[in-house]
């Protein structure tokens, strides 16, 4: 690739596969912004980058795995979380980040999400919620609010949408936060916080999809949407998640909603097996496969 | 490389095929399994759940077969040898991830203890009706390796073979058992660890800046492996990709990749294929069978020998890649090939294709639910010899 | 003394979303009339003396096409300050 694309001064550059820039996301799409925040969170936490793995599913957000310069796995639709579970259990030294979209994580992947949250598997889940299935052309998602025009709801949606923080908290997540792509500093801070905390962490980031969601609903472009987020978001840390549901044009409650202590799956498993088996227990080592 | 003695239960055992399969996996070095209960396969993972914590292994029961079949692949990329176990309905759920394993060249083992189908079918009764599904069940062009044990001893031996083949060829390998072989209890001799050959994962030793994770290497044209956490910043995707692993969705890259995935198996088919043959020379009829049916077929062959019929035996052990070269060799020498299977005609199609009209191909189908009566196969042999 | 800064723009990556222009606290940027090879108008600096090097433009950019930096401090001091602010 041309060296015109290399941006040596930008601290985010080492986190990117620069030979694949420019990326495929549309002008005004917020996914790139979230990756920017992610890179900064990694930078600030001074993490050992070789021990970070990113697992994504299918969709626009799923393409994140292909652009980050880390061990990254672009898996099947909805199944990033079980892949990540296997990866984490085989090598608990890794920090495993699941980076995927609302449809991938909550529709086809919904079952896996609730079980991983129930088990409190030590996964850091970043869900970019653009309220639509973007990659395939703008179909209704389980997160699409009411009265929204999509390609599969040409007369407007009428089925109720999931309230993601509420669902994930109920399933057992120990860290739940929501921001919009307008809240760049807060996203980076939440991500850094989530990386430090063991257990199932979840950050929802509301993002524009200017090409499909906003355009079909005559809501302007990416910039208009960012201004809209600025106008209607209210930060309410600790707000009960039952109250943070979204509507087409109403208030967006952001903040850190849940931050609680629960032993993570790997810790519980090892502790329990040690208790049951005593001296006979041989904990799994890393790597499990001889080199 | 020798097996790790920690996992090897050396000695003489009286166990069923499911249990023997689990021991084979452990002897081969498997230290991660994810599964979902489904009759008649469940005992394999129940035993692994029991054994794993005493061996440094991990078992997790996932919420469905979709999760199990991808969790094992996550574990492989985390450095473990991993497997999952299922039967018909679960196998159908795993199809997408079988394609993912083939596309990403993830070495892993899937065990299918076949039962009557289609759909919920006969959960506790045998069939051999997933034989085409194992090869063609996922979408797109890809190759896999499938082995068919016909005894609990073979469940042990061939499961080790399956792991070894998966590491050499970086391909998902299938152990196609059936309910009878899985639930029959027989003597299984587990040798000493130093007598068990185990293929280690072919991890690369190249420097991080010169390593291409999907570049074909060596005679078998298989890339060297890597795992997360080693600093290679590997990218793995199910999209059509180039040697760097980067998505490159163009016809030339598709052509190169998919053909390499095919040829790494088909070009090595003669090396990979295991089979057993006897009395082929001078035979008028050859009985081609696999799995539990081969044991019933043996009885029918013995009955035919008593009647003076010149009948030979070809037992398929590696069903995929199909032993084309052997069937093509046999066909011109005989009058007919008799193919009994616990299905309404699956592997017989491969036999017929390879026979290419040089002899008659006579199927002995069975809808499943029990094994053939030796008499049914014997009658077909007699008919074939006329 | 107000901090002094500058921006560095990778023109070919820009998709002219306008985030940097809008969210710069000092209104340093505007979309130019020039085109990059994809046909987008990248931003350019119109009020260079107002730039504080805060890098908010860099944080917002979805395309990693812009980056703000301090010009009045040596790089090491800048990194140390950022590190102590972060902890």
Quote the ipTM score.
Answer: 0.96
Q: Give the distance from residue A170's alpha carbon to the nearest chain B alpha carbon, in angstroms.
A: 18
Number of independent structural domains in chain A? 1
The Cα C1–Cα A199 span in angstroms is: 45
Residues of A in contact with B31 (CB under 8 A): 284, 288-289
A137 touches chain B (CB under 8 A): no
Q: What is residue A6's predicted lDDT score, i.e. its pLDDT? A: 57
Which of C56, C59, C67 shows the shortest C-beta gap to A9? C67
CB B200 within 8 A of CB B1: yes
Inside any domain, residue A272: no
Which residue in chain A is spatially nearest to C75 when comparing CA positions? A9
Nearest Cβ partner for C13 among A22, A29, A184:
A22
Q: CA of A5 to nearest chain C CA: how many angstroms apart?
A: 6
Chain C residues closer than 8 Å to A35 by CB = 62
Closest residue on chain C to A23 (Cα)? C63
Phi, psi of A85 (to 5 degrees): -65, -45
- Residue A3 — very low, low, confident or very high, per pLDDT cuts 50/70/90? very low
Tokens representing A270 are: 């090892």
Backbone phi, then psi, for B33, in 5-degree steps? Answer: -140, 140
Partner B, chain A 12-51, Cβ-Cβ below 8 Å: 17, 19-20, 50-51
Percent of chain B's residues with pLDDT above 90: 97
Kindly tell me if the per-residue pLDDT of C87 is higher than 50: no
User: For residue B58, which residues of chain A lie inside 8 Å, CB to CB?
Assistant: 89-90, 269, 284, 288
How far is the C-alpha of B340 from the C-alpha of B317, rounded, in Å?
15
Q: Per-residue pLDDT tens for A154-174?
A: 999 999 999 999 999 999 999
Taking CB atoms within 8 Å and a gap of at least 24, the contacts of A237-241 are A241/A163, A241/A165, A241/A166, A241/A169, A241/A176
- Sign, Cα dihedral of C66, C72, C76, C77: negative
Distance of alpha carbon A81 from alpha carbon A93, whole angstroms: 17
C-alpha B197/C-alpha B204 separation (Å) is 21
Neighbours of chain C (3+ CB pairs under 8 A): A
**pTM, two decimal places:** 0.95
Euclidean distance between the first and the last CA atom of chain A, given in angstroms as a whole number: 34
CB within 8 Å: A72 and B230: no
Cis peptide before C50 (omega within 30 of 0): no
Q: Specify the higher pLDDT residue, A291 or A19.
A: A19
Give Cα C80 to chain centroid, integer Å.
Answer: 20
Count other Cβ atoms within 10 Å, centred on residue B365: 16
Over residues C11-51, the pLDDT tens digits come to: 999 999 999 999 999 999 999 999 999 999 999 999 999 99
Cβ of B32 within 8 Å of Cβ of A288? The answer is yes
> Among C20, C30, C1, C21, which residue's Cα sits nearest to residue C58?
C20
Chain A residue numbers with beta carbons less than 8 Å from the beta carbon of C40 are: 27
The C-alpha atoms of residue B168 and residue B150 are separated, in whole angstroms, by 24
CA dist A44 → B119, B202, C80, C84 (Å): 53, 36, 12, 10
CA atoms within 13 A on the CB side of B53: 18
Cβ contact C19–A222 (<8 Å): yes
Which of B306-334 are b and which e, b meaning 16 or more Cβ less than 10 Å from the residue's Cβ?
eeebbbbbbbbbbbbbbbbebbeebbeeb
pLDDT tens track for B204-257: 999 988 899 999 998 888 999 999 999 999 999 999 999 999 999 999 999 999
Chunked mean pLDDT (size 10), chain B, 386 residues: 94 98 98 97 98 97 98 98 98 98 98 97 98 98 98 98 98 98 98 97 92 91 95 97 96 97 97 97 97 98 97 98 98 98 98 98 98 98 95
A287 part of a folded domain: no
CATH 3.30.420.40, domain B5-195, yes or no: no
| pLDDT given for residue C83 in this prediction | 54
Residues of C in CB contact (< 8 Å) with A are 8, 10, 12-13, 15-19, 22-23, 38, 40, 56, 58-65, 67, 69, 86
- Closest partner residue to A85 (CB to CB) among B6, B74, B236 is B74
Q: What is the pLDDT of residues A235-287, one digit of tens each?
A: 999 999 999 999 999 999 999 999 999 999 999 999 999 999 999 999 998 76
Phi, psi of B250, rounded to the nearest 5 degrees: -125, 155
* CB contact at 8 A, B57 and B22: no
For residue A205, is pLDDT > 50? Answer: yes
Return the pLDDT at C74.
63
Q: Which residue has the tokens 């208030």?
A: A251
Contact A47, A191 (CB under 8 A): no
| Secondary structure of residue B146 in the 3-state scheme | strand
Closest CA to B346 of B145, B160, B157, B135: B135
Q: Which pLDDT does position C85 carry in this prediction? A: 54
Q: Which helix (H) or strand (E) holds B59?
A: strand B58-61
Domain with CATH 3.40.50.920 in chain B: 276-385
pLDDT category at C80 given cuts 50, 70, 90 is low
- Give me the CATH number covering residue A218: 3.40.50.970
- Out of A72, A79, A93, closest to residue B229 by CB: A93
Q: The domain B276-385: what is its CATH number?
A: 3.40.50.920
Considering CB atoms only, which of B62, B81, B230 is closest to A289? B81
User: Given CA atoms A69, A75, A80, A86 in this order, what sign does their dihedral have?
Assistant: negative
In order of their start, the domains of chain C are 5-81 (3.30.70.20)
d(C-alpha B156, C-alpha B182), whole Å: 11
Do A71 and B232 count as a contact with CB atoms less than 8 A apart? yes
Q: Which of B54, B67, B236 sits opposite A277 (nearest CB)?
A: B54
Whether the predicted pLDDT of C82 surpasses 70: no
Q: Looking at the domain assignment, is residue A192 inside a domain?
A: yes
Here the tokens at position B284 are 């008028």
Contact at 8 Å (CB) between A132 and A213? yes
Q: Tell me how far apart the alpha carbons of residues B333 and A23 are, in angstroms, rounded to a whole number.
A: 61
The predicted structure's pLDDT at residue A261: 96
Place of tokens 């050396």: B10
Q: Report in angstroms the alpha-carbon separations of B29 from B5, B106, C25.
A: 10, 16, 59
Angle at Cα B210 formed by Cα B207 and Cα B216, nearest 5°?
110
* pLDDT confidence of residue C81: 54
Strands B11-16 and B185-190: antiparallel
Q: Which residue of A has its CA nearest to C86?
A: A44
Question: Residues of CATH 3.40.50.970 domain(s) within chain B?
Answer: 5-195
Which residues, including other chains, have CB under 8 Å from residue B255's CB and lie 6 or more apart? Answer: none
**Inter-chain CB proximity A222 and C18 less than 8 Å:** yes
- For residue A36, the chain C residues in CB contact (below 8 A) are 58-62, 64
């Amino acid at each position: 690739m041309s060296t015109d694309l290399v941006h040596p001064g930008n601290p985010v550059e080492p986190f990117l596969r620069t030979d694949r820039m420019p990326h495929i996301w549309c002008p005004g799409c917020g996914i790139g912004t979230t990756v920017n925040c992610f890179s900064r969170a990694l930078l600030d936490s001074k993490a050992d980058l070789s021990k970070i793995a990113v697992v994504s599913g299918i969709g626009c957000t799923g393409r994140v795995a292909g652009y980050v310069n880390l061990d990254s796995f672009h898996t099947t639709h909805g199944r990033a979380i079980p892949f990540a579970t296997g990866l984490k259990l085989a090598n608990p030294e890794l920090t495993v980040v699941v980076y995927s979209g609302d449809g991938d994580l909550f529709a086809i992947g919904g079952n896996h999400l609730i079980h991983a949250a129930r088990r409190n598997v030590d996964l850091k889940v970043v869900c970019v919620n653009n309220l639509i299935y973007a990659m395939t052309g703008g179909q209704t998602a389980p997160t699409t609010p009411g009265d929204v025009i999509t390609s599969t709801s040409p007369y407007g949606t009428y089925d109720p949408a999931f309230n993601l923080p509420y669902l994930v908290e109920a399933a057992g997540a120990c860290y739940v936060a929501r921001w919009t792509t307008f809240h760049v500093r807060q996203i980076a801070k939440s991500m850094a916080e989530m990386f430090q905390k063991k257990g199932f962490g979840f950050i929802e980031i509301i993002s524009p999809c200017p090409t499909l969601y906003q355009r079909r609903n005559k809501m302007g472009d990416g910039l208009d949407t960012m201004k809209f987020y600025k106008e209607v978001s209210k930060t309410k840390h600790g707000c009960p998640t039952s109250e943070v549901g979204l509507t087409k044009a109403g208030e967006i409650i952001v903040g850190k909603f849940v931050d609680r202590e629960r032993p993570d799956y790997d810790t519980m498993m090892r502790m329990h097996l040690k208790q049951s088996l005593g001296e006979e227990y041989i904990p799994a080592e890393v790597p499990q496969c001889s080199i | 490389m020798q097996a790790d003695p920690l996992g090897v239960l050396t000695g003489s055992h009286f166990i069923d095929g499911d249990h023997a399969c689990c021991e084979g996996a452990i002897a081969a070095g498997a230290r991660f399994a994810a599964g979902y209960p489904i009759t008649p396969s469940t005992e394999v993972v129940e035993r692994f759940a029991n054994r794993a914590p005493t061996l440094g292994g991990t078992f997790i029961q996932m919420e469905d077969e979709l999760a199990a079949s991808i969790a094992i692949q996550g574990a492989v990329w985390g450095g473990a040898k991993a497997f999952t176990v299922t039967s018909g309905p679960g196998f159908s759920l795993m199809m997408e991830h079988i394609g993912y394993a083939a596309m990403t060249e993830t070495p892993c083992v899937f065990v299918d203890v076949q039962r009557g189908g289609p759909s919920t079918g006969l959960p506790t009764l045998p069939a051999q009706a997933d034989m085409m599904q194992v090869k063609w069940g996922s979408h797109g062009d890809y190759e896999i390796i499938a082995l068919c044990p016909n005894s609990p001893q073979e469940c042990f031996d061939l499961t080790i073979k399956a792991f070894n083949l998966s590491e050499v060829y970086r391909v998902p390998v299938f152990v196609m058992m059936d309910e009878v072989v899985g639930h029959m209890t027989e003597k299984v001799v587990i040798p000493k660890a130093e007598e068990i050959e185990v293929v280690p994962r072919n991890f690369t030793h190249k420097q991080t800046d010169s390593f291409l994770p999907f570049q074909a290497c060596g005679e078998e044209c298989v890339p060297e492996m890597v795992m997360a956490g080693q600093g290679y910043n590997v990218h793995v995707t199910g999209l059509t990709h180039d040697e760097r692993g980067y998505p490159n969705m163009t016809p030339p890259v598709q052509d190169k990749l998919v053909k390499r995935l095919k040829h790494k198996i088909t070009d090595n088919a003669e090396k990979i294929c295991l089979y057993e043959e006897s009395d082929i020379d001078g035979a008028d009829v050859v009985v081609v069978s696999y799995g539990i049916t081969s044991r019933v077929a043996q009885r029918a062959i013995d009955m035919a020998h008593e009647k003076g019929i010149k009948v030979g035996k070809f037992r398929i052990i590696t069903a995929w890649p199909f032993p084309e070269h052997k069937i093509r060799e046999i066909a011109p020498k005989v009058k007919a090939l008799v193919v009994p299977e616990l299905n309404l005609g699956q592997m017989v199609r491969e036999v017929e294709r390879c026979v290419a009209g040089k002899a008659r191909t006579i199927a002995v189908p069975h809808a499943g639910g029990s094994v053939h009566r030796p008499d049914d196969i014997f009658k077909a042999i007699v008919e074939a010899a006329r | 003394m107000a901090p002094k800064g500058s921006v560095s723009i990778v023109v070919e990556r820009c998709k002219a979303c306008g985030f940097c222009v809008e969210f710069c606290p000092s209104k340093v940027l505007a979309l130019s009339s020039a085109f990059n090879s994809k046909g987008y108008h990248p931003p350019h600096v119109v009020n260079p003396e107002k730039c504080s090097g805060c890098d908010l433009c860099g944080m917002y950019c979805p395309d990693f096409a812009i980056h703000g930096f301090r010009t009045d401090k040596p790089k090491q001091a800048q990194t140390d300050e950022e590190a102590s602010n972060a902890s």
